[in-house]
Chain A
Amino acid sequence: MSKFIKRFYLFLVYGFLYAPIIVLIIFSFNEGRTRGSWDGFSLIWYKKLFSDKEILSAVYHTFLVASITTVVSTIIGVLGAIGISPYRKKLRAAILGINQIPVLNPDIVMAVGLMVLYRILGLDFGLVTLILAHIAFTVPYVVLSVLPKLKQMPSSLPEAAMDLGATPSQTLTKVIIPYIKPGIFSGALMAFTLSIDDFVISFFTTGNGIETVSTLVFSMARRGINPEINALSAIMFIIVLFLLVLMNLRTEKVT
């Protein structure tokens, strides 16, 4: 009996998590455009998706912004974390506190703040402001995921490297970075997913024809969400699933 309850509980949790995604995927194959009524199986929305320039350009912008953001904020975040780690305890705590404020702060504060800042700087909204905003809000996450790895690293390791004749830059690239690689990797992944996910900050810092998937879907709300979005979501879900499986296989091999 208790086994049944355990199973049922698990089923319930996963049911709530995955039911919306499953419904979405099923309805992406629906022939009609209304939610809730099944008109027959068809691939029409997939076909339309790949000929809809607006959605494709939003997908392109989303991934472009996410990729640039990931690369830049990972570099900034890793160097920042390496810089912070040898500080005295108090100073480090203070810097980390400042680093964490953007993480805990509601997105909307950051978004409106960035919007006002860009206006004061006289920047026109578009791809540049969007990427700068995304870098700004993802760097703290990279720092946070790299720091624990740096803490684990014995300080004697870089010292030994330099004693044995490595230059500081060689120590960085050959000793420190390989050691903290898992942290860098998870930080980069975090930055990438956060950037793709983000709506609030993108909404306030973009303009002049640059739309991401999330801002585009939001703007469709009044006329009803286009079923092409169901198809797009299904494809994105499958890609993420695939990446996840791939990553798990890889880590299994390593251990």
Chain B
Amino acid sequence: MKAKRIIVGLLLLLLFLSGCSQGQNRGEVVNIYNWGSYIDKDLLRKFEEETGITVIYSNFNTNEDMYVKLKSGGTNYDVVVPSDYMIERLIKDGMLRKINWQNVPNIKYVDAEYLNHVYDPHQEYSAPFFWGTLGIIYNTTLVDDVVDSWGILWDEKYSREIIMLDSSRDSLGIALKYLGYSMNSVDSGEMEQAKELLEKQYPLVYAYLVDQTRDVMINAEAALAVIYSGDAMDALSNNEDLEYIIPKEGSNLWFDAMVIPAGSKNPENAEAFINFMLSPENAAQNSEFVYYSIPSSAAKELLEEELRDSEVAYPPKNKLKELEVFRDPGPFIKVYDDLWQDVKNQ
């Protein structure tokens, strides 16, 4: 009979535990779905204290994961933070709700350069969260040439010292840019040329990585790497020999922005949260935690010097005009993925 008592006891304990966890979710809530490690958690506590709205928080790892979850339903997210091309697709699919800017006065702190980009041309659905560029990080003790072009990634001098991004859009985009085409090409001939260029580069590449690039460069295991500006900032603060540049042929400019899914049950709370995150003080606090660039000069002024004056995080504004934002290629994405598989499988 002892066993029975233990089981009954366990069941009661579990009922109690599950009761506890559900009890927290009553009242006003805002359900947020963001990239992993993309927010300073203290800000969530601050938001809860200021507004009395409880935050439910989940993470995703890729735009595509997020899309699957949102599309399949069964989730009640109020604020999601996808990237530019994914926002374009979500708008096309009618999965987003227009933001009522009257409830989000802090949008005024966002600079004009970061608004009305191709993914949301009239800024109806999204509020920029972070932005960044794609460029080359290199170790000055291992590279003695001037690095200003994507071409250095094809220089045989640095054979087995080059790290490329393991991402079809980014890597083919670099090759397209180097050839003088658009990163958003949907022309089979241009794509074929880009693929051949990458195949030629294959023997020179040390590794195709994404998130390990930062560590590899800090440890000086490679000379050159393609990297996002946010990771570059992080790497530069850990190793003084590193430099970051945006090649002269142009590159990618990306945004992660806050949007409200069409199915949101608490759109007012979502707007309150977006407004909270856009306030200069909170945006700056978040940027100092995540290291990515914020789309607001007012917020930028509040940053620590090292971050504020960095040309890595904040390249001169005239430079931004030469950069391209990714578009949603629709079904043509399959061509990108197939060609990229061909490059990596040779």
Q: Which residues of A does B touch, CB under 8 Å? A: 32, 34-37, 52-54, 60-61, 64, 67-68, 71, 75, 115-116, 118-119, 123-125, 127, 129, 173, 177, 207-211, 215-216, 218-224, 226
Contact = CB atoms under 8 A, between A and B. Distances in A.
Majority SS at the chain B contact face: mixed
Contact of B31 (A119, A209, A218): A209
B211 A53 contact: no
A219 B36 CA distance: 5
A52 B39 CA distance: 13
B142 interface: no
A32 B238 CA distance: 10
Contact of B59 (A115, A116, A177, A211): A211
Given A219-B36, A221-B36, A221-B61, A208 B77 contact: yes
Interface in B1-41: 1, 3-4, 7, 10-11, 14, 17-18, 21-22, 31, 35-38, 41
Given A34-B219, A209-B56, A222-B62, A67 B14 contact: yes
- The 7 A-B pairs of least Cβ separation, nearest first, read A209-B56, A219-B59, A219-B36, A223-B37, A220-B36, A207-B75, A125-B74
Contact of A222 (B3, B18, B36, B218): B36
Contacts of A224: 37, 211, 214-215
Contacts, number: 103
26 contacts: A34-B215, A34-B238, A35-B215, A54-B57, A60-B21, A61-B21, A68-B14, A71-B7, A71-B10, A71-B14, A124-B74, A125-B74, A127-B18, A127-B21, A127-B22, A173-B1, A208-B31, A209-B31, A210-B58, A216-B59, A220-B37, A220-B61, A221-B211, A222-B210, A223-B36, A224-B215
B215 A36 contact: yes
Interface in B187-223: 210-212, 214-215, 218-219
Given A216-B36, A222-B61, 8 more contacts: A34-B214, A35-B215, A36-B215, A64-B14, A124-B75, A207-B69, A207-B74, A208-B76
A64 B41 contact: no
A177 to B, nearest CB: 8
Contacts of B10: 67, 71
Given A219-B60, A222-B210, A64 B21 contact: yes
Contacts of A209: 31, 56-58
B88 to A, nearest CB: 20
Nearest to B10: A71
